[in-house]
Chains A and B, each alone.
Chain A
Amino acid sequence: MNDSVNAAAASPMSRWPAWARLPETWIVLALAAMPFALLQAGGSVDTAIRILIWGLFGLGFDILFGYAGLLSFGQAAFFGAGGFVAAYLLISGAVSSVLLATLIGIAVAMALSVLVGWVSLRRVGIYFSMITFAIGELAHFMQNSVLSRWTGGDNGLPGVPFPRLKFGERMVEIAPGWGMYVMLAVIFVATFWFARRLVQSPFGHVLNAMRINPDRTLAVGHHLQRYKMAALVVSAAYSGLAGAMLGVFQSYIGPDAVSLETSSQVVMQTVIGGVRTLVGPLVGAAIWIFLRDVLQQIPGIGGAWKLILGALFVLAVTVMRRGIVGEIRHWHRQRTARAIAGAAVAAAAPPRDLAPAIDTVQPIRASTAATRVAPGAGAPVAIEARDIRMQFGGLVALEQVNLAVRTGEIMGLIGPNGAGKSTLFKIMTGELRPTAGDVVFGERTITGIGVREACRIGVSKSYQIVQVYPELTARENLYVPILARQRGAFRFDVLRTLRGNRAMEEEVERALRVMELHERCDVTVSEMAYGEKRRLEIAIALATEPQVLLLDEPLAGLSPAERVQVVQVIRHAAVGRTVLIVEHDMDAVFELADRITMLHMGRNLVTGTPAEIRDNAAVHTAYLGARDERPAA
């Protein structure tokens, strides 16, 4: 995310004054030029107004789909709600101010979106697209039947008045043409500014993280449902505003405002223009509306305008995946990346004002690693699994399993494949509810409370299969858990900036330094080596500041050199913390662990110090098979 920000910082544009680097400046210039370009090309100012309305509509959709990853096919329901409510209030005379009617329209669209979200966000993505599609059709159907008393049914609502502005004694009516274009341009720039601030805020960062890796984002403590709902409500507000503006502009709102056509047009124009760019929907709207007007006038193929635009859309989905704005930005960024490749290290330096604070952060690994002392037998238990039984259908994965980890201890959990280690881990992090038995953390029973809640109270897990955010940089990866800790499970802080949060930057620097990733902090994770991703994976779990850290095969797939590095990292992570580690690398487990427990076929086999385990006959038997096994007769 923050692509524009990154690009700006890295490109020659950074020499420009701050106001010139603001996207809004460019939007203002583009909007000033657009009507003239359209007039040259045979369009009209009204075409430009339509483009703005659809661009406005698309801003909300881009936040919803581009950032939150929710592909809605029912945006017309909100668009229509805003349009019809505002139009009805104005025509019926209940409200005389266009501004007030619009605000009420927006509020109704937002309220409707809460209902829609309540229904459609209960399950995963596929459901959301299917159900919003159905809701869009339902809204269309209801406009024409149950609600036709208020919406005018097929006839729609004609006679929406134009807005009036009071200049001293004079009332000025804003009619279609230049007046309305300027009004909408002002609205567009203001709402674009809001959208840009939103996607660059901590809130926007969590939305983006949620789209890229929902499971991990939940696991570090974010309340995904609320973020999804918030994104939907914001998109509904944009839709409602755009719908109300359409009514005001046309002096009429018709059934097409709630149709599937409308929902699909916003999807298609956004994809063609470029998802996750905010400018893309406006560009897409311009292309869509301009081409439609042009194509319709060509005899012979006029009737095929939507076929041609549909084919363009399929082309965008298959070949030009980033959309027009996205492809241009991608090309530009690759060019600047090549240009500054030599200065990569310099670019990785933190913002200048933060630098002194970070320089004082010492590489603490070497000094503290030695200070860790294994807790004695009298140390209190940090987390405990009691009499766990886990049954999947007919398969008993765990039976009567007990495991107590003492505060400050590193405990190794070993056992052959299929012993039930990963299942036990899932139970201990609250992800899975056991068939019987309890998990106790400190004083509290945390059986099946869910990963998010477990994370919140201080139990965190590093995954066996690396769960990072490949599209983000290492720094941006670490923002995700830190934001959860700083801001809680949900916060709508859309006008804050993500960057310049001094405490967070310091923490990120420290975490990356510990993992020896600080020179790679602005590298996109998908370009990192496996060992680096593995260290980042552990860093994310650590950044939630857990009291109990569970590491699921942290050494799997590492080279010998990386292995040494990660073992050191774990030893450091264990200072002042309780660690439970599952690992097949026995040398590492014996080296790290204070105590080891072994699971075999879903049961506790033995628990003891590394020396005791090493000499235990049952352990050897479990791993290597019984010595006295006779060949089958």
Chain B
Amino acid sequence: MPPTALILSQVFHGLVLGGMLALVGSGLTIILGTLGLVNFAHGALFTFAAYAGWIVYEQTGSYLVALVIGALLTCALGLAIERTLISRFYQRPHEDQILLTFGLGIVITEALRWQFGGVGKTMPVPELLSGALRVGPIIYPEYRLAVFGIAALALLGCYLLLYHSRLGLIVRAAIEDTVMVRMLGLRASRIRSMVFGLGVLAVGVAGVALGPIVSIYPDVGARFMVHSFVVVVIGGLGSFPGAILGGFVAGQIQTLTSIFDPAYSDLMLFLVMVIILAVRPRGLLGVEGRQ
């Protein structure tokens, strides 16, 4: 049995990772649930956010500015591709949408690679949060706790927006019945853009916040996207609470498996997904009948 301190520290790691996966997965699932579109450019947008945050930080030296501007820049990029290209594909088959967003993801990733090279960049941990905090028997880096806080705040923001605002009401109505929402005279195209923007904003926040923890390189987003796919499948396609639950479950599975052997962490996550698909095909909190 591994020592308690190690387990505890891995549980903390799992919470931080889980929070981030929940955020990335939420962005994916909000878009999926409302627009019926799997955004295969999600990982590339994550990478873009990490680079954007890093550049703004280098320029201004302020972490907070980097977080806000980096996420907003990512959101702007997301809106730009939604308005120009993706919006033309809402009536097309899922496969076409996937091919388009996948292609856009490649273009974004490769543009970053061309501009910044393949070597990883490091975003320094902000001065103020560079210390460590004593939590019970373990000492834990402050910045990681802050990342958890950011994830929690961003998820809370999403929750308030989705469940306690006019937009959220419309979005949830649109998930239930898109045609009806359009017939009620609501501007479907604007709602779609807003939803897409919100989903990308979530991944943007995650991308910047994780910058100081992960090395920033062009393919960093791809791994996060794969994991967020698993998160969304576990939680239930299109379910916002499902993505949060799925994110934290996935975070814990990964970090706890790593105590024994990191090589098996992905495999274990995957096995859990397979088991859930077998026992409960719609995912933990998925709605019956939604495809």
Contact = CB atoms under 8 A, between A and B. Distances in A.
Contact of A126 (B102, B223, B291): B291
Nearest to A261: B219
A313 B267 contact: no
A177 interface: no
A402 B173 CA distance: 36
Contact of B270 (A125, A138, A264, A317): A138
A73 B281 CA distance: 21
Given A69-B95, A124-B291, A146-B267, A310 B226 contact: no
Interface string A116-128: 0001001111110
Interface string A297-331: 00000011011001101100110000000000000
A122 B277 contact: yes
Contacts of B40: 129, 133
Interface stretch (B1-9, B103-111, B125-133, B157-165): B103-111
B286 to A, nearest CB: 10
Interface residues of B, number: 41
A457 B117 CA distance: 63
B85 A125 contact: no
B100 to A, nearest CB: 5
Contact of A310 (B96, B107, B267, B278): B107
A135 B117 CA distance: 28
Interface string B78-122: 000000010010000011101110111011001101100100000
Contact of A141 (B100, B104, B266): B266
Interface string A143-162: 00110000000000000000
A362 B103 CA distance: 55
Given A123-B281, A137-B222, A303-B114, A130 B102 contact: no
Interface stretch (B51-59, B138-146, B148-156, B229-237): B229-237
Interface in B257-291: 262-264, 266-267, 270, 273-274, 277-278, 281, 291
B200 interface: no
Nearest to A65: B95
Nearest to B118: A303
Contacts of B237: 126-127
A268 interface: yes
B103 A130 contact: no
Contacts of A130: 38, 229, 232-233
Contacts of A303: 113-114, 117
Contacts of B107: 307, 310-311, 314
Given A137-B222, A142-B267, A306-B106, A318 B233 contact: no
A134 B291 contact: no
A231 interface: no
Contact of A123 (B111, B264, B291): B291
Contacts of B100: 314, 317-318
Given A71-B95, A134-B270, A119 B103 contact: no
A307 B112 CA distance: 9
Given A145-B263, A306-B106, 12 more contacts: A126-B291, A133-B40, A133-B226, A138-B266, A146-B263, A304-B110, A307-B110, A310-B106, A314-B85, A317-B96, A317-B100, A318-B88
Interface of B: 32, 38, 40, 85, 88, 94-96, 98-100, 102-104, 106-107, 110-111, 113-114, 117, 222-223, 226, 229-230, 232-233, 237, 262-264, 266-267, 270, 273-274, 277-278, 281, 291
30 contacts: A71-B98, A71-B99, A119-B274, A122-B278, A124-B291, A126-B237, A129-B38, A129-B40, A129-B94, A130-B233, A133-B40, A134-B229, A134-B230, A134-B270, A137-B226, A138-B266, A145-B263, A145-B264, A260-B222, A268-B103, A271-B99, A304-B110, A306-B113, A310-B106, A313-B103, A314-B100, A314-B104, A314-B106, A317-B96, A317-B99
